[in-house]
């Protein structure tokens, strides 16, 4: 479960609430860790027994957030350090908007940043997951608006520790997505899952998996067929969810996933009780632990 879903809870609330709901993993939001206090938060997460699926986020390398390239890279390097401290499976990064650059120059900036951050992540045995964005106003935080552009960027970067987020909310808009899954899977470091009532205009249009019109079940099945065995992070944004009874919402998420793909999620959820999530080596490998909502991943074939 990603912490953005329980937006109004603190890090402490999330840890306690997720464990009470029988959820075995947490996608950590950087702002919540900062608000709670980094040292206290690192200790809390390490002692919680929760697997940390991802740490979000860093980026803005093109200057669209007002940072220079060096400042944005240094900030991302600090995020890598924190991700390692909390034993996250990956660090999520965004490119930044074009910010007046030509598209090709923006790509060069992003490539250089990803290589620098990827080198730092490799030192800790972490992955970097690039977040593409489609179908919403994204000029400020991402210029990658198609799966093809994202895959071309990753191939050009050519770094074993740099991959992508497979965000169903965004990628479901891709033409012929199911055919492209085989090409994308070797790059996928984490899958973000939700649904939406089309045509979705913003992140606030997300809904529980299986309750909208996105082909969530088909996409998950395609990922599994092509060998993906990493985390599935539930990410629900918007006032409808942020003002909800979170304990009830977590239960609804578990039920939604089980209904969506029972042969996958029920089996993985059943494996969580015996999984030593606090183990350092395992906690750094999302393919060995895996959690998203009630999801426990099974061992994967080696990922790029």
- Joined together, the tokens standing for residue 51 give 């697997």
- Give CA separation, 128 vs 165, 205, 256, in Å: 9, 27, 28
Beta carbons within 8 Å of 299's beta carbon, 6+ residues apart: 229, 287, 288
Residue in 139, 134, 91, 137 with CA at minimum distance from that of residue 114: 91
CB atoms within 10 A of CB 285: 19
Separation CA 166–CA 181 (nearest Å): 10
Decide: helix, strand or coil at residue 189: strand
Given a contact cutoff of 8 angstroms between Cβ atoms, the answer to whether 54 and 92 are in contact is yes
The pLDDT averaged over each successive group of 10 residues in the chain (304 residues) is 97 98 95 98 97 96 93 98 98 93 96 98 98 68 90 97 94 87 94 88 86 93 93 92 96 92 70 40 33 32 37
Give the CB-side neighbour count of residue 213, counting CA atoms within 13 A.
6
- Joined together, the tokens standing for residue 209 give 């998996």
How many helices (DSSP H) and strands (DSSP E) are in the chain?
13, 9
Separation CA 94–CA 298 (nearest Å): 28
- Joined together, the tokens standing for residue 52 give 């940390």
Separation CA 191–CA 229 (nearest Å): 10
pLDDT of residue 295: 37
Separation CA 258–CA 67 (nearest Å): 42
pLDDT of residue 173: 79
Separation CA 236–CA 212 (nearest Å): 13
Q: Domain 11-283 sits in which CATH superfamily?
A: Divalent-metal-dependent TIM barrel enzymes (3.20.20.150)
CA dihedral 175→90→191→180, nearest 10 degrees, is 30
Strands (E), 95-222: 127-130, 162-167, 188-193, 195-196, 206-207
pLDDT of residue 54: 98
The backbone torsions φ and ψ at residue 127, rounded to the nearest 5 degrees and listed phi first, read -115, 155
For residue 179, with 0-12 CB atoms within 10 Å meaning exposed, 13-18 middle and 19 or more buried, which class applies?
exposed
pLDDT of residue 230: 92
Decide: helix, strand or coil at residue 196: strand
């Amino acid at each position: 479960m990603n912490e953005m879903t329980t937006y109004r809870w603190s890090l402490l609330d999330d840890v306690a609430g997720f464990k009470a709901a029988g959820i075995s993993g947490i996608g950590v939001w950087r702002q919540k860790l900062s608000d709670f206090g980094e040292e206290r938060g690192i200790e809390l997460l390490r002692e919680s027994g929760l697997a940390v699926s991802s740490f979000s986020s860093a980026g803005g390398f093109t200057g669209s957030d007002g940072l220079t390239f060096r400042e944005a890279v240094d900030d991302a390097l600090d995020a890598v350090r924190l991700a390692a401290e909390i034993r996250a499976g990956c660090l999520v990064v965004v490119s930044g908007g074009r910010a007046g650059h030509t598209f090709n120059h923006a790509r060069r900036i992003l490539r250089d940043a990803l290589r620098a951050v990827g080198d730092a992540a490799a030192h800790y045995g972490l992955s970097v997951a690039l977040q593409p964005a489609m179908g919403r106003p994204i000029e400020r935080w991402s210029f990658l608006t198609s799966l093809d552009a994202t895959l071309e960027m990753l191939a050009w970067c050519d770094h074993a520790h740099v991959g992508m987020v497979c965000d169903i909310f965004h990628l479901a808009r891709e033409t012929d997505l199911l055919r492209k899954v085989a090409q994308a899977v070797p790059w996928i470091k984490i899958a973000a899952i939700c649904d939406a009532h089309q045509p979705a205009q913003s992140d606030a249009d997300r809904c529980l998996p299986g309750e909208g019109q996105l082909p969530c079940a088909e996409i998950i099945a395609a990922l599994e067929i092509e060998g993906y065995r990493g985390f599935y992070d539930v990410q629900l944004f918007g006032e409808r969810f942020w003002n909800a009874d979170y304990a009830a919402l977590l239960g609804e998420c578990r039920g939604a996933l089980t209904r969506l793909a029972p042969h996958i999620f029920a089996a993985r959820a059943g494996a969580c009780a015996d999984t030593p999530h606090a183990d350092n080596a395992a906690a750094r490998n999302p393919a060995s632990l895996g959690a998203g909502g009630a999801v426990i991943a099974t061992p994967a074939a080696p990922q790029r």
